[in-house]
Structure 1
């Protein structure tokens, strides 16, 4: 006596649902990976000796910096240039302006913004560690630092800045050097220093 044979009917809709699920899973994974890579560039500063987070300059800070640069000529370097706005504003005022930034996404954004605003031929942006970047060729330097790093920055400027270099420190002053001028107050304060140290190292640009 033969037993009845049971047949299983497969639903095409379930196969389509399974395929859609795999596609959705792949897309979600790719997006998550991309966001992780991008966010890592912003989070990683917290794991360095000195945490220098990306905080865009306010309009008042930019205005104070530009006031500090009035009458200045030559070259300008923004150490930790972020989205490049200081570099672009300096270029509009006929300074040869460069930015140094470790976050690759901010460097790319700065370059695109300079291109969009017609300032690409007056600006340069480098993806470099500011501690390893020699500042000896610049006539003007802008730095948005944190309090813990200002002493080490002062040592760097003393050893590398050329005679007459104008350093504009924002948010925090240099601890052992008297500013020639102070503009603004509170978080928007900028301190202007003149360095007259001889160059002791060869330029790395």
Structure 2
């Protein structure tokens, strides 16, 4: 086989590769694929934090409060004042809404991404000096200083939560349970219906 034949064969292989769309992935394309994959992975990690359980003891996924739930909570707070704690504060919307009504509102949340998001929203809305968002496990957080407590719970946790509240809350504390009632205390007021229901209790019982 002479040199001309070898050259032609090599040229033929080169042309074949050039015409193969699978093998002919450009360098820029590979970079774009890598960037897209990295962004997708990052978003997955962040979003997973938003929907993962916010409590260690019970599975409590992040579910934002509806406008009707917020309205019912504000009705339950009518005539009240002072300090307010949202246990498992999620994205902070209860805290940010109640601070507009002159409450000194704090939020306790275990999920670090939600705490950062809440702080950012408070800063953006100019109420960061009137609110506080604490990253903590609510089972270990002392609630005794608060005049009002709001909790969005799951059914499995309400019995243990009731025990904690009765042990730690001061006598005139106003407790607002959302979605699920406390199992043993008798509510002094019930507002709304369905998933938007809130039950209002005091610790004098």
Report the TM-score range of the alignment, normalised by the length of the smaller protein. 0.7 to 0.9
Question: Does the Cα contact within 8 Å between 2:88 and 2:108 map onto a contact in 1?
Answer: yes
Number of the residue aligned with 1:116: 124
Matches within 5 A, 1:32-181: 32-45=40-53, 48-181=56-189
Q: Moved runs in structure 1, 4+ residues, more than 6 A?
A: 13-16
**2:129 alignment partner, SS class:** helix
Question: Contact conserved, 1:161 with 1:196, CA < 8 A, in 2?
Answer: no
Q: Which runs of 5+ in 2 are unaligned?
A: none
Instruction: Give CA-to-partner distance per residue, 1:72-113, whole Å, 9 cap, x none.
Output: 122100011122111011111111101112222222222122
CA distance in 2: counterparts of 1:159 and 1:67, whole angstroms: 26
Rg (Cα) greater in structure: 2
After TM superposition, give the deviation of residue 174 of structure 1 in Å.
0.4
Give me the CA root mean square deviation: 2.6
User: Aligned pair count?
Assistant: 196
Q: TM-score, normalised by structure 2?
A: 0.84
Residues 40-49 or 64-73, more deviating = 40-49
Q: Is the 8 A contact 2:54 2:110 kept in 1?
A: no
Tell me the alpha carbon deviations over residues 142-190 of structure 1, each in whole angstroms, 9 at most, x when there is no partner.
Answer: 0011111110100111221122111100111100111122222222211
Separation in 1, partners of 2:170, 2:73: 20
Give, in angstroms, the shift of residue 134 of structure 1: 1.7
Partner of 2:34: 26
| TM-score, normalised by the number of residues in structure 1 | 0.84
Question: Secondary structure, in 3 states, of the residue corresponding to 1:193?
Answer: strand
Q: Distance in 1 between matches of 2:72 and 2:133?
A: 22
